[in-house]
Structure 1
Amino acid sequence: MSNSYAQPILRTADLSKALHVVGMLLGIADLGDPEVDFGVRITSAHSLSAVLAVLPDAEWWAEEERGGPSERGDDPSASSPVWLQSRAEAPETVEPFLRAVGDSPAAVRWDFNAWPEVPELGLGVGGTRGAFVTLCVHARDLDLEEPATDHTVFVHVKQVEAERAPWLAAQVGLRVIGDLVMAPY
């Protein structure tokens, strides 16, 4: 299994604008049965409770201790800051999750079947490990290590199909605004 590569196409303080762009990108994708993955770094007890209400089965770990605590049944509120992650959730979970995270850095990644073919670039249908959209809220990077007051939309493609990213950006009236980087998962 290989990682996808992601390129930012929008940075905005307007979360509704970022979600609109995500919706336009999903509108050109072959969705099939879309799933959504979530990740968040939480320092607030209030946000932690709110996120766990939305994603009660989320895996979590203390900032310096990946894995373990959620598997042992420990209390995440005793380990602040914590990272939470949940995969293969329903798309309807996105808005409640975004309300719950407050100003915590978080990522929402939509996973679907494929991007459309782009004959003018010699690209067939783009899928398997290269068909995602990620919205990072209150963060500038996919690892959520660069806190920000704005939000960033990334398109994911296969590294060998890097030219698909600018094409996707153009389909929603935008352009790439940063480098193509390997996605963390």
Structure 2
Amino acid sequence: MGNSVAYPVLRTADPAEAYEKARHLRGLLATRYAQVYVGAELRTVEDLRRMVRLIPDAFYDHAGMREDPATGEPLDFDADVRTATDAELAPELPLDFVHTELPDGVDGEDFVRAVGSGPASLQWEGCWPDEPELGSYGSPKYDAVQLVLNSDACDWDRQVTGVHTLYVHVTKWGDPGRAERLAAAIGGAVLGEPEQG
């Protein structure tokens, strides 16, 4: 996708509300790509088990670098999350993953329900419609709707449990007018400075 400009347009404590508003915004894309990019940081064995049931073939790894205390060498996570016991998984947490699509039969709502208290993201890419009368044109490489769960940062690297943030991504250079119009379409407003997407 490259580095888009992302504007926060909604913050709520209700993940279902955030998801519904994201669906509405996704419907406004003139072109919608089939892929849904997802990722999450999983803090408990229960969180991990729920996510593995949804996305079993994702590549799960340590959230952050781990080192061997004796040698200082990086430690890899190589357990099979589908067969490892809870006792084997617990000391490896938190784990994270990024995956390029949801499996058949799994939708974004399933993902939202499976996320625990760690930060997570769903992103739907596409292209906003051209609005030549406003000097605003869609950007197929950069336009998207992103729902960030348990975080107030587009790159979802900061955990804020219970805060769910909805972003609109618009072009590489930003388009504050389009962001304001999209925010208004869901009864929201641009909530602060744009972020790098």
Cα 1:118/1:101, change in 2 over 3 Å:
same
Residue type matched to 2:181 in 1? W
Identify the residue that residue 14 of structure 2 maps to in structure 1: 14
Equivalent-residue separation in structure 1 for 2:55 and 2:4 (angstroms): 25
Identify the residue that residue 125 of structure 1 maps to in structure 2: 138
Residue deviations 1:84-109 (CA, integer Å, cap 9, x gap): 11113369431222222222221111
Is 1:47 aligned to residue 30 of structure 2? no
Identify, as 1 or 2, the structure richer in helix.
1
Cα offset, 1:15, TM superposition? 1.8
Cα offset, 1:9, TM superposition? 0.3
Counterpart secondary structure, 2:163: strand
**Is contact 1:60-1:69 (8 Å) kept?**
no
Identify the residue that residue 79 of structure 1 maps to in structure 2: 92
Identify the residue that residue 101 of structure 1 maps to in structure 2: 115
Counterpart secondary structure, 2:150: strand
Equivalent-residue separation in structure 2 for 1:94 and 1:125 (angstroms): 24
Give the TM-score of the pair, scaled to structure 2: 0.80
Higher-Rg structure is 2
Cα offset, 1:69, TM superposition? 4.3
Residue deviations 1:98-142 (CA, integer Å, cap 9, x gap): 222222221111122x101122321223321x2111111111112
**Is contact 2:120-2:149 (8 Å) kept?**
yes
Identify, as 1 or 2, the structure richer in strand.
1
Task: List gaps (5 residues or longer) in structure 2.
Answer: 67-73, 82-88
Cα offset, 1:74, TM superposition? 2.6
Cα 1:90/1:117, change in 2 over 3 Å:
farther
What does 1:30-69 align with in structure 2 at a 5 Å threshold? Answer: 30-65=30-65, 69=76
Cα 1:127/1:57, change in 2 over 3 Å:
same
Identify the residue that residue 27 of structure 1 maps to in structure 2: 27
Task: List gaps (5 residues or longer) in structure 1.
Answer: none
Equivalent-residue separation in structure 2 for 1:28 and 1:64 (angstroms): 36
Identify the residue that residue 153 of structure 2 maps to in structure 1: 141
Residue type matched to 2:113 in 1? R
Cα offset, 1:22, TM superposition? 0.9
Counterpart secondary structure, 1:26: helix
